[in-house]
Amino acid sequence: MIVYDQTTRTFFLHGKSFSCALWVHPAGYLVGLHFGGPIGGDDLRYFDPSARELSFSPIPPDVDSYFSLDVAGSEYGSFGQGDFRTPSVLLVRENGERASRFHYVSHTICDGAPDLGVLPSARGGKTLSITLKDVLSEAEIVLNYTLYEDSDVLVRNAEIVNRGSSPMRLLRAESFCLDLAAGEYDVLRLHGRHNMERMPERTPLGHGSVKIGSARGASSHQMNPFLVLLERGAGEDAGVCVGFELLYSGSWMLEAEETQTGAVRVSGGINDLGFSWLLGASEKFITPQVAICYSAHGLGEMSRSYADFLRGHVLPENRVYAPRPVLVNNWEATYFDFDREKLCALADEAAPLGIDTLVLDDGWFGGRNDDLTSLGDWFVNEKKLVGGLGPVIEHCKKRGMKFGIWFEPEMISEDSALYRAHPDWAIGRADVPRCKSRHQYVLDMTREEVTDYLFARMSDILSRHEISYVKWDMNRHITEFYSASLPAERQGEFAHRYILGVYRLIRRLQAAFPDVFFEGCSGGGGRFDGGMLCFFPQFWTSDDTDAYERAKIQWGTSYGYPLSAMSCHVSACPNHQTGRTVPFSARGAIASLGATGYELDLGRLSAEEKAQVKEQIANYHEIEQLILRGDLYRIADPYQGNLFCVAVMSKDKTRAYVVGMRIHALPGDFDRRIRLKGLRCEQTYTVEELGLTLRGDTLMNAGLLLPRLPDFGSWVWHLSAKKNS
Ligand code: GLA
- Rounded to the nearest angstrom, the distance between the alpha carbon of 557 and the centre of ligand 1 is 19
Cα angle 183, 188, 193 (rounded to 5 degrees) comes to 155
* Cβ contacts of 457 within 8 Å, gap of 6 or more: 378, 379
pLDDT at position 668 is 86
pLDDT at residue 203 in the model = 98
Task: Tell me, in angstroms, the distance from the centre of ligand 1 to residue 362's CA.
Answer: 7
Amino acid 723: pLDDT: 82
From the candidates 272, 444, 473, 544, which is the catalytic residue?
Answer: 473
Q: Cα–Cα distance between 450 and 444 in angstroms, integer?
A: 7
Report the chain's C-alpha Rg in angstroms.
Answer: 27
Q: For residue 505, which phi and psi values (nearest 5 degrees)?
A: -65, -40
pLDDT at res. 65: 79
Max intra-chain CA distance, the chain: 83
Contact of 120 with 530, CB cutoff 8 Å: yes
Q: Where would I find the beta strands (DSSP E) of 163-251?
A: 168-180, 185-193, 196-204, 208-214, 223-231, 241-247
Q: How big is the CA angle at 102 (ends 101 and 108), to the nearest 5 degrees? A: 175
User: What whole-number distance in Å separates Cα of residue 140 and Cα of residue 160?
Assistant: 6
* pLDDT, position 505: 98
Q: Angle 547-557/584-591 helices, nearest 10 degrees?
A: 20
Contacts of 458 (CB under 8 A, 6+ apart): 378, 407, 409, 470, 509
388 alpha-carbon distance from chain centroid: 36
Name residue 190's amino acid: L
**How remote is the CA of residue 666 from the centroid of ligand 1, in Å?**
36
Instruction: Answer whether 525 contacts ligand 1 (Cβ < 6 A).
Output: no
Pocket of ligand 1 contains residue 23 by CB under 6 Å: no
Separation between Cα atoms, residue 444 and residue 497, nearest integer Å: 9
Q: Please, are residues 276 and 493 in contact by the beta-carbon 8 Å criterion?
A: yes
Give the atom of ligand 1 at the shortest distance from the alpha carbon of 471: 10
In short, whether 331's Cβ falls inside 6 Å of ligand 1 is: yes
Q: Residue 673, class by beta-carbon neighbours within 10 Å (0-12 exposed, 13-18 middle, 19+ buried)?
A: exposed
Residue closest via CA to ligand 1's atom 1 equals 523
**In ligand 1, which atom is closest to the CA atom of 599?**
9
| Pocket mutation for ligand 1, best pick of 362, 370, 471 (most atoms within 8 Å of C-beta) | 362
> What is the CA(523)–ligand 1 centre distance, in A?
5
Our answer on whether the CB atom of 528 is closer than 6 Å to any ligand 1 atom is: no
| 43 part of the active site | no
Q: Is 43 within 8 Å of 143 (Cβ atoms)?
A: no
- What distance in angstroms lies between residue 447's CA and the mean position of ligand 1's atoms? 25
Cis peptide before 574 (omega within 30 of 0): yes
Q: How far is the CA of 335 from the centre of ligand 1 (A)?
A: 9
pLDDT of residue 724: 61
List beta partners, residue 567: 540, 595
Cα–Cα distances in Å, from 705 out to 676, 690, 692, 714?
11, 10, 12, 13
Query: Distance (Å, rounded) from C-alpha 564 to C-alpha 703?
Result: 27
Continuous H helices in 149-285: none
Task: Name 606's Cβ contacts closer than 8 Å, sequence gap at least 6.
Answer: none
Task: Give kind and range of the element (H or E) at residue 300.
Answer: helix 298-313
The candidate with the shortest Cα–Cα distance to 599, out of 541, 657, 556, 648, is 541
- Nearest atom within ligand 1 for CA of residue 522: 8
111 belongs to the catalytic site: no
Q: Give mean pLDDT in consecutive 10-residue pieces for the chain, a chain of 725 residues.
A: 97 98 96 96 86 83 88 95 96 96 98 97 98 97 96 98 97 98 97 98 98 98 98 97 98 97 97 98 98 98 98 98 98 98 98 98 98 98 98 98 98 98 96 96 98 98 98 98 97 98 98 98 97 98 98 98 98 98 98 98 98 98 98 98 97 98 91 96 98 98 96 98 76
Nearest CA to ligand 1 atom 7: 523
Say how many Å lie between the CA of residue 541 and the centre of ligand 1.
Answer: 11
Which of these, 585, 552, 698, lies nearest to 200 by C-alpha position?
552
Domains detected in the chain: 2-313 (2.70.98.60), 327-413+439-477+510-626 (3.20.20.70), 635-722 (2.60.40.1180)
Ligand 1 pocket member 539 (CB < 6 A)? no
For a mutational test of ligand 1's pocket, the pick from 329, 368, 438, 473, i.e. the residue with the most ligand atoms closer than 8 A to its C-beta, is 473
Ligand 1, atom nearest to 371 Cα: 12
Q: Is the CB of 475 under 6 A from ligand 1?
A: yes
